[in-house]
Structure 1
Amino acid sequence: MNIDACYQLGYVIKKHGTHGEISAFIDADFPEEYSELESVFVEINKKLVPFFIESIQIRGNKAVIKFEDVNGHEEAYELKSCGLFLPLNTLPKLDSDQFYYHEIHGYHIQDNQKGMLGIIKDVVTTSMQDLIVMEYQDKEVLIPVNNEIIGKVDHQEKVLYVTLPEGLLDVYLEP
């Protein structure tokens, strides 16, 4: 499986117990939707390797997972920090005005007041706020992801419409 055909579901935090279980962070709005997973791809040495799931217990945004053929704590320890991936075609369909973060890379940002601004380079998820990273006038600008700022998205034209707070761009343009 090619990594470009997948999305990152989460990553292995650490080994869990002595029988090969791992503790994983699940980066999803509704982690419980993944409680019936049968398999995932684990990124090992920049390659996606399929792992079949023997058991999974979702606890908030974390999961305890027992993979088939991972039977000891040393094998589980080797998976620490590895990404967990699923094919893009397994993502639930969204309404036309919604988007997944991986979809909007390369989209243009158009502000209701200032017009076309720049291109989305990345989306950063932090514990406090998700942020869109946009390149604007050779500067990196961070745009908070929230309903007051983010408007509609045009997937056909690859444009994300926003209403930026007054002075946001000035913060990044001042020397």
Structure 2
Amino acid sequence: MRQDDCYQLGEVIKTHGLNGEVGISLDVDFPDEYQNLESVFLEQQGKLVPFFIDTLQINGGKALVKFEDIETVDDARNLLKAKLFLPLSTLPSLEEGQYYFHDLVGCEVAEGPKKLGIIKEVIDLNGNQLLSVDLNGREILIPLKDEILTHVDIAGKKVEVKLPVGLLDIYND
């Protein structure tokens, strides 16, 4: 499985107890939808490795997980900071007009007739989502807000924006 074919579900943030359980921070909108997971991919030395789940308890944006073959706190420590991934094919279908953040990457951003650049990534900064846009080799950050993104055409790879006054000025020398 390639990372490009997956989305990030969360990250291992701590060990729990002495029997190999770990605490997970979930980076999804509806954590309870993942209650019946049987396996995930963990990033290990740059590769995605499948891990099977013995038990999973979700509480809000956090989860307590016991993986098969992880039996001790030392085994669990080796998983700290590992990112969890699932295949894109497991994402639920969206209604018309909805999109996933990863769908925005590669889209052209324009404000009216003015093309601003290409979205390189979506950054989550303490719950504030930002679009990282390449503007002629320079990164500009655009808040991912409904009032700023006026039209999103995922199929056409285009995003129309109405930027707050002065936003681009802060990127000028």
Give TM class, smaller chain.
over 0.9
Q: After TM superposition, give the deviation of residue 152 of structure 1 in Å.
A: 2.2
How large is the Cα RMSD of the aligned pairs?
Answer: 1.3
Q: Does 1:75 align with 2:75?
A: yes
- Equivalent-residue separation in structure 1 for 2:164 and 2:103 (angstroms): 24
- The aligned counterpart of 1:106 is 106
Name the aligned partner's letter for residue 137 of structure 2: D
- The aligned counterpart of 1:144 is 143
> How many residues of Structure 1 are paired with residues of Structure 2 in the alignment?
173
Deviation per residue, 1:145-172 (Å, 9 max, x gap): 1111012211222001111111111111
Q: After TM superposition, give the deviation of residue 115 of structure 1 in Å.
A: 2.6
Query: Would the aligned equivalents of 1:122 and 1:134 in 2 still touch at CA under 8 Å?
Result: yes
- The aligned counterpart of 1:97 is 97
> Identical aligned pairs, as a percentage?
47
Provide the secondary structure at the position in 2 that maps to 1:165: coil
- The aligned counterpart of 1:122 is 121
Provide the secondary structure at the position in 1 that maps to 2:122: strand
Deviation per residue, 1:38-71 (Å, 9 max, x gap): 1101111111111111111111111000011111
- Structure 1 runs of 4+ aligned residues shifted over 3 Å read none
Provide the secondary structure at the position in 2 that maps to 1:85: strand
- Equivalent-residue separation in structure 2 for 1:12 and 1:101 (angstroms): 22
Query: Would the aligned equivalents of 1:108 and 1:117 in 2 still touch at CA under 8 Å?
Result: yes
- Equivalent-residue separation in structure 1 for 2:89 and 2:151 (angstroms): 23
- Equivalent-residue separation in structure 1 for 2:136 and 2:69 (angstroms): 52
Query: Would the aligned equivalents of 1:98 and 1:152 in 2 still touch at CA under 8 Å?
Result: no
Query: Would the aligned equivalents of 1:97 and 1:152 in 2 still touch at CA under 8 Å?
Result: no
- The aligned counterpart of 1:172 is 171
Q: After TM superposition, give the deviation of residue 27 of structure 1 in Å.
A: 0.1
Provide the secondary structure at the position in 1 that maps to 2:147: coil
- The aligned counterpart of 2:32 is 32
Provide the secondary structure at the position in 1 that maps to 2:133: strand
Provide the secondary structure at the position in 2 that maps to 1:170: helix
Provide the secondary structure at the position in 1 that maps to 2:7: strand
